[in-house]
Structure 1
Amino acid sequence: MKEGCGIKEEIWIEKYRPVSLEDVVGQEEIVKRLKSYVRSRNVPHLLFSGPPGVGKTAAAISMVRELYGQEWRGNFIELNASDERGIDVVRHKVKDFARTAPLGGAEFKVIFLDEADALTSDAQSALRRTMERYSSICRFVLSCNYSSKIIEPIQSRCAVYRFRSLSDEAVGERMKKIAEAEGVEVTEGGMGAIVYVARGDMRKAINALQAASLMEGTVTEETIYQITATARPEEIRELLAAALAGKFTQARSLLDDLLLVQGLSGEDVIIQIHRQMMSLMDSDDLSATTSVRLMDRIGEIDFRMTEGANERIQLEALLAYFALAGSER
């Protein structure tokens, strides 16, 4: 599509995807290890685990690019295990690629299985044998959000790297570079809002910046919160302060504004309440005992909502509990 349609021609996530290990931010120790593999051209099977949007896929593809140069696509295949999670994908696609010889004089080929924790137990068991049988000409890189969902025999065959959430500084620095490259003006509050809603997820940050840039010439704090369906931190603070002060009716009115006017889901609200509770605990506004009780109740309400309970009733029950706890302080 053309820019005249109001839509940029490129999705910025793909446009600014790292092409070398130097471009992967916030994972310095892991990048250092991967560079040593590239230099020695001796790569073990790898297992990358961590939250979404922190550079797992980018690190894997960047390593392969540096290993093979311009011919990297001939010795690399990427499969998303969440699309095809059964044993057939291992028996056919993975095995067929693994058994063929590397191209261009390469020592080995690389198979990248993204979201490998979505593979069934049978598929993982079949993958274990394939990894063992073709290890002389093929290396496996597995990416997952939860390493506990990968069976132990596979974990023991891999060098495990745990990616952490990106720091606010790393996200902010990369967003400033992208905004400058795209000619987008971002206010200081807008940049702070991008970092807040991203929560260490670079994909979410880039998406927020691009979407906001299409709405207005200057990206502001208000625009970011609007397009990401996120409440301002001060709104959540006001909600909790009213509840803890025993003003249940006022707190309920503020909750109605978040759910009905701003259109937030119950899950969005409970996550932001949890984040704000951490700030309250750090500021010593609550006693240790009260903080523990409130955090326990937040977890219980979150579980109930996950199980299908009515969001509004559960959140109002949480505010009522906050009001009771506040009166006992």
Structure 2
Amino acid sequence: MTEVVSLMDIDDDDNAGDRSAKPINKGKSGAAPSDGKATPWVEKYRPQSLADVAAHRDIIDTIDRLTSENRLPHLLLYGPPGTGKTSTILAVARKLYGAQYHNMILELNASDDRGIDVVRQQIQDFASTQSFSFGVKASVKLVLLDEADAMTKDAQFALRRVIEKYTKNTRFSLICNNVNKIIPALQSRCTRFRFAPLDPVHVNERLKHVIEAEGLDVSESGLTAFVRLSNGDMRKALNILQSTHMASKKITEEEVYLCTGNPLPKDIEQISYWLLNESFAESFKQISNMKGRKGLALVDIVREVTMFVFKIKMPSDARVQLINDLADIEYRLSFGCNDKLQLGSLIASFTKARASLVAAAK
């Protein structure tokens, strides 16, 4: 889904300037990594061109067309982590600048460089200088601000003015997870693209490519586990794949869950059985024993049980109430509330749901 706010044609004027000015690159590196065994697969298999980006073809095709027509606007790419935002804009930069890539972009991670001084010094200095770059397809430079939602409000207001002042020779690309933290004045100056969580089909295809390239032995159930645990986050999927490979030569579903510390599906089925059929005391005892024996986190159990609730046949109002109760428990656990108290709340929530099931059956 794309939301086009404004388009600004790239000026065709020849821009004079200082070729010696080189950008300071921080945050995620755009350089092609080496193929050494120590290279994180997230970087080793990062898309090098727009055609390699796993999903969001509508967005990619739109940006590709604007780039080819020298009509690239300021960009605001937002959405959950691991959905291809940074990879997309780095691929755009490679297409625009080729071998001059590192001389034409300033890459900053706004979670580290988030104050107004960065805007007034590094960004403004880079944007205000013009460069001779021979052999590139565009005469404008590119400022890439990753995690822009971490910038202070003062820095964002200062950036707004910089964007206006240096549009002729510089384009700005803002990347963030939470677009609501970007001030409206910045949003209105950018073309916005939302990157949704990746479809399981695209995650599956990319993982198969990496598995084949690395010569891994992965079972079908293991591949399904990777896709399920990634939740549409390609970075997470690749990190889990690499860490599981380091722990085991033969990658099965069980190995994936053991490596990540997530409860196995069969464990969740067993816990759900206790919650729906056993007494409060028995459920508390059995779940506590399993937590201790397998080293499971209650927050992971609650999250997985919530997904299991959708498979249970029960009245819709009872399902909604149970899911809300589980969300409250997960929220309290995120603030470090006592595990035993929250386990009691979990069992009590299912006790109420069980009463609704019995009443509906009658």
Q: What TM-score do you get using the length of structure 2 for normalisation?
A: 0.84
Flag the 1:279–1:158 CA change in 2: closer, same or farther, 3 A.
farther
Partner secondary structure for residue 48 of structure 1? strand
1:93 alignment partner AA: Q
The root-mean-square deviation of aligned C-alpha atoms, in Å, is 1.8
Instruction: Give the structure 2 partner of residue 3 of structure 1.
Output: none
The correspondence for 1:218, drawn from 250, 257, 264, is 250
Deviation at 1:245, TM superposition (A): 2.7
2:282 and 2:50 map into 1 onto residues whose CA distance is 51
1:111-161 per-residue CA deviation (whole Å, 9 max, x = no partner) reads 111111111111111111111111111111111111011111001111110
2:125 and 2:213 map into 1 onto residues whose CA distance is 42
Flag the 1:257–1:169 CA change in 2: closer, same or farther, 3 A.
farther
> Going by fraction, where is helix more abundant, 1 or 2?
1
1:20 and 1:257 map into 2 onto residues whose CA distance is 50
1:151-191 per-residue CA deviation (whole Å, 9 max, x = no partner) reads 11001111110001111111111111111111111011110
Decide which structure has the larger Cα Rg and report it.
2
Where does 1:180-195 land on structure 2 (aligned, <5 Å)? 180-195=212-227
The correspondence for 1:167, drawn from 192, 196, 199, is 199
Is it true that 1:326 corresponds to 2:354 in the alignment?
A: yes
Partner secondary structure for residue 188 of structure 2? helix
The correspondence for 1:293, drawn from 321, 341, 347, is 321
The count of residues paired between Structure 1 and Structure 2 equals: 319
Runs of 4 or more off by more than 4 Å in structure 1?
none
1:295 alignment partner AA: I
Percent of residue pairs identical: 39
Instruction: Give the structure 2 partner of residue 96 of structure 1.
Output: 125
User: Do the aligned partners of 1:231 and 1:258 also contact (CA within 8 Å) in 2?
Assistant: no
1:127 and 1:93 map into 2 onto residues whose CA distance is 11
User: Do the aligned partners of 1:194 and 1:205 also contact (CA within 8 Å) in 2?
Assistant: yes
The correspondence for 2:93, drawn from 59, 64, 67, is 64
1:277 and 1:148 map into 2 onto residues whose CA distance is 31
Flag the 1:277–1:99 CA change in 2: closer, same or farther, 3 A.
farther
Instruction: Give the structure 1 partner of residue 260 of structure 2.
Output: 228
Instruction: Give the structure 2 partner of residue 50 of structure 1.
Output: 79
Where does 1:105-116 land on structure 2 (aligned, <5 Å)? 106-116=138-148
Deviation at 1:302, TM superposition (A): 2.3
Partner secondary structure for residue 139 of structure 2? coil
Deviation at 1:246, TM superposition (A): 4.5
2:266 alignment partner AA: E
2:296 and 2:176 map into 1 onto residues whose CA distance is 28
Is it true that 1:15 corresponds to 2:47 in the alignment?
A: no
1:288 alignment partner AA: S
User: Do the aligned partners of 1:198 and 1:205 also contact (CA within 8 Å) in 2?
Assistant: yes
Deviation at 1:242, TM superposition (A): 2.3
The correspondence for 2:109, drawn from 80, 83, 94, is 80
Deviation at 1:250, TM superposition (A): 4.3
Deviation at 1:322, TM superposition (A): 0.7
1:254 and 1:117 map into 2 onto residues whose CA distance is 44
1:289-321 per-residue CA deviation (whole Å, 9 max, x = no partner) reads 111111111122222223332133113212222
Where does 1:35-46 land on structure 2 (aligned, <5 Å)? 35-46=64-75
User: Do the aligned partners of 1:74 and 1:103 also contact (CA within 8 Å) in 2?
Assistant: no
Deviation at 1:265, TM superposition (A): 2.8
User: Do the aligned partners of 1:195 and 1:205 also contact (CA within 8 Å) in 2?
Assistant: yes
Flag the 1:238–1:131 CA change in 2: closer, same or farther, 3 A.
same
Deviation at 1:254, TM superposition (A): 4.6
Is it true that 1:140 corresponds to 2:172 in the alignment?
A: yes
Instruction: Give the structure 1 partner of residue 54 of structure 2.
Output: 25
User: Do the aligned partners of 2:284 and 2:343 also contact (CA within 8 Å) in 1?
Assistant: no
User: Do the aligned partners of 1:212 and 1:224 also contact (CA within 8 Å) in 2?
Assistant: yes
Partner secondary structure for residue 328 of structure 1? helix
Where does 1:191-270 land on structure 2 (aligned, <5 Å)? 191-257=223-289, 259-270=291-302
User: Do the aligned partners of 2:319 and 2:353 also contact (CA within 8 Å) in 1?
Assistant: no
**More displaced stretch, 261-270 vs 311-320:** 261-270
2:181 and 2:298 map into 1 onto residues whose CA distance is 27
1:112 and 1:264 map into 2 onto residues whose CA distance is 40
Flag the 1:307–1:210 CA change in 2: closer, same or farther, 3 A.
closer
**Structure 2 stretches lacking a partner, 5+ long:** 1-35, 358-362
Q: What TM-score do you get using the length of structure 1 for normalisation?
A: 0.92
